[in-house]
Amino acid sequence: MKLDKSERRSILVFAILFVLLVLVFVYTVFTWRMDNTQEFVTSITKEDRTKKGENNEDINIFVAMTQKESWPGTDADGKSTIGAEYDGVIFNNSGKNIVDWSMTIYMPKNKNGEPIPGTFDSSWNGEYTNNGDNITFIPADYLNVIPKNEEKTYGFVMYAGTNLDFSEFEICGYYRTILPEYPGFWIATVGFLIWLTWVVAWAVMDARARKLKKQKAHDEKIIEETMQVFANFIDAKDEYTKGHSTRVSFYSQKIAKRMGMSDEEIKMIGYMGLMHDCGKIAIPDDVLNKKGALTEEEREIIKEHTTRGGQMLENFTSLPAIRDGALYHHERYDGKGYPQGLIGKEIPLYARIINVADAFDAMNSDRCYRNRLPKNRILSELRNNAGTQFDPEIVEYMIAMYQEGKI
Ligand SMILES: [Fe+2]
């Protein structure tokens, strides 16, 4: 499939947009992955414990531990101790889910600054390990995730020489985010949907335009071939001028191109050239192909091929200019032509071009009663009749092309 310039430009724009969307998506996924693999560590002190609250943006995680009830007892060495239930809560105020977390609970210190020894009696919701200085808490599987704005509880029963006031904690874990939380995800997704809609719409319209273009080319071919067949009929009628219409069409197009006309105009003048002598079909053969000199009356009959041609093409409304070529191609620039004696620019431009091409072919072709005229003779005829028979500007184009050997 051959692509034209605008199609190539569209595809380039689509490709650039696609690459940009992919870059946005890749960047978003990368940021998301990074956010999910970075471990956080948060220390919570006694002061932080009272800051719980969804609206408190200063604190991401709230941790507290309170003593529920206590009772006297003795330890294994027979020393008197205090047994107590310590209930804890951890609240996730971070706005993101927390996963794979663990917590360090620092043992309270005595007045000498030493950690107070304690012994576990029982515990729940995870594993607790006391190394003397602190307790490591690994939550049970069902507590592994703390959804945002939710809390989990933990706790144990511990024996110690005194009531314990747990006030220092350290949480570590991972924030778990989901892709739709990132603006880049939506920019890439919505952008891609718009992009896809755009590409599909463009492809449909392009396919339709291609079909129309193909149809148009086919229609033009039919017109062109029909015109050529008619031109063959016309030229077959006049045995002196075989191939004349085709050549006039060719020269007229060359002049039009040299004058800088558009492709459409050049095509039109080509059709006009093919049809310019169609009126000859209505002229009796014995007059048209008469050997020897014509009488005045016979000359007038032949001149009628212009008006007859104009009448024949009157109904050709889809290409109305074609009629002008047939009707006015024997008008002269000085007003002495026929059938209407139009002067100068009154004669339609296309007809003035055909007039020059027609005369040039008459001089440049062999006829059964004479050979083609020599080049210098043709040039001098063209020059001498500029402004009288021919439009002086148009004939200059013809002269230039002929001198350059382009026709
Ligand atoms: Fe003619």
Is residue 56 predicted with pLDDT exceeding 90?
no
Q: How far is the CA of 226 from the centre of ligand 1 (A)?
A: 20
H/E segment holding residue 122: strand 118-124
Of 5-9, 96-100, 241-245, 368-372, give the lowest mean pLDDT range: 368-372
Percent of the chain exceeding pLDDT 90 equals 72
The span from the CA of 20 to the CA of 13, in Å, is: 11
What's the CA-to-centroid distance between 399 and ligand 1, angstroms? 21
Q: How far is ligand 1, taken at its centre, from the CA of residue 242, in Å?
A: 13
Asked whether the predicted pLDDT for residue 388 surpasses 50, the reply is yes
pLDDT at 93: 85
**CA–centroid distance, residue 329 to ligand 1 (Å):** 7
CA separation, residue 168 to residues 67, 75, 105, 106, 130 (Å): 15, 26, 6, 5, 15
Q: 219 CA distance to ligand 1 centroid (A)?
A: 28
Dist CA 53 CA 31 (whole Å): 28
pLDDT at 113: 92
What is the per-residue pLDDT for 318? 84
The Å distance, Cα 325 to ligand 1 centre, comes to 10
The CATH number of the structural domain formed by 238-403 is 1.10.3210.10
- Distance from the CA of 349 to the center of ligand 1, in angstroms? 16
User: Over 60: is that where the pLDDT of 51 sits?
Assistant: no
pLDDT at 54: 46
From ligand 1's centre to the CA of 245, what distance in Å?
9
Please, which residues bridge with residue 39 across strands?
Answer: 174
Distance 259 CA to ligand 1 centre (A): 23
**Å from CA of 73 to ligand 1 middle:** 134
Share of residues in the chain with pLDDT > 70 (%): 95
Neighbours of 69 (CB within 10 A): 9
Distance 147 CA to ligand 1 centre (A): 95
User: How many residues appear in the chain?
Assistant: 407
User: What separation in Å is there between the alpha carbon of 326 and the centre of ligand 1?
Assistant: 8
Q: Would you call 175 helix, strand, or coil by DSSP?
A: strand
Average pLDDT over residues 382-397: 96
| pLDDT(53) > 80 | no
228 CA from centroid of ligand 1 (Å): 17
Domain assignments of the chain as residue spans, ordered by start: 42-170, 238-403
**275 C-alpha to ligand 1 centroid (Å):** 10
The per-residue pLDDT of the chain, averaged, comes to 91
Count of helices and strands (H, E) across the chain: 10, 10
Measure 354 CA to ligand 1 centroid, in angstroms. 9
Ligand 1 geometric centre to CA of 217 (Å): 30
| CATH of region 42-170, choose from 2.60.40.290, 3.40.50.150, 2.60.40.1260, 3.30.390.30 | 2.60.40.290
Give the contacts of 360 (CB within 8 A, at least 6 positions apart): 251, 378, 382, 398, 402
Q: Could you tell me the distance, in angstroms and rounded to a whole number, from the CA of residue 222 to the centre of ligand 1? A: 25
276: CA distance to ligand 1 center in Å?
7
User: What residue has token string 């000199």?
Assistant: 293
Ligand 1 midpoint to CA 134 (Å) = 116
Cis peptide before 339 (omega within 30 of 0): yes
Give dist(CA 333, CA 388) in Å, integer: 5
What is the whole-number distance in angstroms between the Cα of residue 70 and the centre of ligand 1?
127
339-385: pLDDT as tens digits: 999 999 999 999 999 999 999 999 998 876 678 899 999 999 999 99
CA of 277 to the centre of ligand 1 (A): 5
Please, what is the end-to-end C-alpha distance for the chain in angstroms? Answer: 35
Distance from the CA of 330 to the center of ligand 1, in angstroms?
6
